[in-house]
C-alpha cells in the first residue's frame, strides 16, 4: 500500500462533527431523560482535555525529556485513579492506596515490558510510543480495576454472614473470602473478554483504524493491534488481581474479624 498523507482535519470539520453531540443532546431532551447538561459537560470536558493533551504531546515530542515523560505518566495514573474513585458507588477501605499501588505496579509493569520487549523502540522514554501505549493500557485496565473493586465491595457486603460463619468454623480471611474474590475477578475480566471476542468481526479497534488511516499496511496494523490487546488483557488481569489481593484484607481486623458495617 502506498503511504498516503493523512487527510487534514480543519476547524469547520470539527464543528460538523460536534453537531452529532448536539443531536444526542436534542434526543435526550426529546425523551426527557434529564441528561442534557451531563452530555454537554462531558463533551466540553472531552474537547478541552484533548486540546490540552495535544499541546502537551507536542511539547514532549520536541523536548524528549525522560523526566517530563514520567511526569506525564504519573499524571495519567492520578487522573485514572480519580475517575475510578468517582465511578465507584461503594468503596473498599483504603480505596486509593489499594487502587493506586495496583495500577502503578500492574499497568506500569506491563507498559514497560510491552514497550521494551514487544515493540522494542529506542530510547525507552520516546513519548511518541510510550505515552499513547501507556494511555491505552491504563485506560482499559482502569475499567477492569473499577469493576473488581466495586464487585468486591458488593460481594463482601452481600456475603457477610457467610464469611463470618466460615471464620467461626476456623477458616482464615482468604479462605472465607474466596467466593467473593472469585466473583469479583470474573467480573473484572468480562469486558476484556467480550472486547476480544468482538474485535475484527463486530468492530475494528481504534489503534488499528488510526494506523490504516495514516497509511500503514493493514497487516502491520493488525499485528500492532493484536499485541496491544494482549498487553491490555495482561494489565487488566494483573491490576485486578493485585486489587483483590490487597482489597479483601482491608475488610478484616488484625484479629481476623470482619470490620463493622
pLDDT value for 249: 92
> What is the DSSP-derived secondary structure letter of residue 96?
H
User: CB within 8 A of 85, min separation 6: which ones?
Assistant: 91, 95, 96, 99
Q: Which long-range contacts (CB under 8 A, 24 or more apart) does 196-200 make?
A: 196/229, 196/233, 199/225, 199/229
Q: What is the pLDDT of residue 260?
A: 66
For residues 206 and 133, the answer to whether their CB atoms sit within 8 Å is no
CA atoms of 188 and 190, how far apart (whole Å): 6
- The pLDDT tens digits of the residues spanning 19-44 come to 999 999 999 888 888 888 889 999 99
Per-residue confidence (pLDDT) for residue 261, from 0 to 100: 58
Query: Cell match 515490558: residue?
Result: 113
Q: How many other CB atoms are there within 10 angstroms of residue 63's CB atom?
A: 11
pLDDT of residue 4: 56
Gap between the Cα atoms of 51 and 20, Å rounded: 19
Question: Within its chain, how far is the Cα of 237 from the centroid?
Answer: 12
DSSP class of residue 118 equals: I
Q: Tell me the CB-side half-sphere exposure of residue 75, using CA atoms within 13 A.
A: 10
DSSP-assigned letter for residue 251: G
Helices marked H in the chain: 11-30, 36-63, 66-87, 95-113, 127-158, 160-168, 173-176, 178-198, 206-213, 218-247
User: What's the DSSP call for residue 203?
Assistant: B
pLDDT one-digit tens code per residue, 153-186: 999 989 999 999 999 999 999 999 999 999 999 9
Q: Which segments in the chain show pLDDT lower than 70?
A: 1-5, 88, 260-261
Q: Which three cell numbers stand for residue 104?
A: 502503578
Residues 6+ apart with CB under 8 A from 130: 69, 73, 111, 115, 124
Amino acid at each position: 500500500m502506498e503511504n498516503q498523507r493523512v487527510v487534514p482535519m480543519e476547524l469547520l470539520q470539527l464543528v460538523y462533527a460536534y453537531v452529532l453531540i448536539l443531536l444526542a443532546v436534542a434526543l435526550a431532551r426529546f425523551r426527557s431523560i434529564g441528561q442534557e447538561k451531563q452530555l454537554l459537560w462531558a463533551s466540553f470536558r472531552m474537547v478541552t482535555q484533548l486540546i490540552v493533551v495535544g499541546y502537551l504531546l507536542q511539547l514532549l515530542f520536541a523536548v524528549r525529556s525522560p523526566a517530563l515523560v514520567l511526569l506525564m505518566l504519573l499524571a495519567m495514573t492520578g487522573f485514572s485513579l480519580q475517575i475510578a474513585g468517582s465511578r465507584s458507588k461503594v468503596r473498599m477501605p483504603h480505596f486509593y492506596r489499594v487502587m493506586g499501588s495496583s495500577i502503578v505496579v500492574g499497568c506500569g509493569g506491563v507498559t514497560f515490558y510491552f514497550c521494551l520487549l514487544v515493540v522494542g523502540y529506542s530510547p525507552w522514554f520516546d513519548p511518541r510510543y510510550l505515552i499513547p501505549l501507556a494511555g491505552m493500557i491504563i485506560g482499559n485496565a482502569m475499567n477492569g480495576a473499577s469493576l473488581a473493586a466495586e464487585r468486591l465491595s458488593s460481594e463482601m457486603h452481600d456475603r457477610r454472614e457467610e464469611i463470618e460463619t466460615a471464620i467461626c468454623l476456623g477458616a482464615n480471611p482468604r479462605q472465607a473470602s474466596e467466593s467473593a474474590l472469585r466473583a469479583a475477578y470474573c467480573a473484572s475480566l468480562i469486558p476484556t473478554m467480550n472486547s476480544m471476542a468482538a474485535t475484527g468481526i463486530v468492530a475494528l479497534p481504534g489503534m488499528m483504524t488510526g494506523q490504516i488511516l495514516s497509511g500503514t499496511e493493514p497487516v502491520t496494523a493488525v499485528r500492532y493491534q493484536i499485541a496491544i490487546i494482549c498487553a491490555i488483557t495482561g494489565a487488566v488481569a494483573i491490576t485486578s488481581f493485585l486489587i483483590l489481593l490487597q482489597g479483601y484484607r482491608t475488610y478484616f481486623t488484625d484479629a481476623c474479624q470482619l470490620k463493622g458495617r
